[in-house]
Amino acid sequence: MQTVFLPLFPLRLVAYPGEELNLHIFEPRYKQLISECEAKGTTFGIPSYIDDKVQTIGTEIQLVSVDKHYPKGEMDIRTRGIGLFKINEFFAQVENRLYTGAEVERISFDTQGDFLKNEKILEYLGELYNILQIRKPLPENTTSFHTYDIAHLVGFSLQQEYELLCITNEQSRQDYMIQHMEKLLPMAREMEELRRKVQMNGHFKNILPPEV
């Protein structure tokens, strides 16, 4: 497979293809990286930094705009994820540069899911948000989103978000998300029942005693 060089910007987060990510750039190495991307129209990679390690799979990032330049060289930038890559060779420091980089192989992925699975995901997510009293807008219908769009909204840990990133097939990602929510929802229901019982404690109760 053909490899290309990408400057790297490791972060303790997972960025997904299609995701819009706004960043404040202040470290000298990343000010250099972004300045080069702005001048040359090049891309860079965000691999997740988990357990003190740069992970193998990451997201290629396009610089959309630099919204603000600060006097000391800091920047507010807007970016968008455009694809996946796998690191083949990591360079802790690039020659004559401050930042890290890697020879990477671009990875293909799909976003064509099963609308019935999306329906189940929306149902589960709606129930979870109702229990937790979260007021965030959800996708309007089963065809208006894919798993990358809502991966940050379903209660994944950082490790789980990364595992989802590594799954290149949309229906497999749907299955992963459904399995996660089927484990999470019973715990949320139990906590809601506990909350209800605590709130009822001390209230007058109209309870029919058993016939003994």
- The residues spanned by each domain of the chain are 4-107, 115-200
What pLDDT is attached to residue 138?
A: 86
Nearest 10 degrees: Cα torsion 137, 81, 55, 177? 30
Q: How far apart are CA 76 and CA 109, in angstroms?
A: 30
What pLDDT is attached to residue 11?
A: 97
Where are the extended beta strands (E) located within the chain? Answer: 4-8, 20-25, 44-50, 53-69, 75-91, 100-107
Which tokens hold the place of 94? 């690039």
pTM for the full predicted model: 0.87
Q: How far apart are the first and last CA of the chain?
A: 77
Which of 53, 57, 8, 85 has the alpha carbon at shortest distance from 164? 57
Which tokens hold the place of 53? 């390690």
Summarised one tens digit per residue, pLDDT across range 60-91 is: 999 999 999 999 999 999 999 999 999 999 99
Topology of domain 4-107, per CATH?
A: 2.30.130
Which of 10, 36, 7, 40 has the alpha carbon at shortest distance from 23? 10
What pLDDT is attached to residue 132?
A: 87
Q: How far apart are CA 129 and CA 73, in angstroms?
A: 41
Question: How much of the chain, in percent, has pLDDT values that exceed 70?
Answer: 92
What pLDDT is attached to residue 210?
A: 63
What pLDDT is attached to residue 190?
A: 87
Spell out, as residue ranges, where the chain has pLDDT lower than 70: 1, 197-212
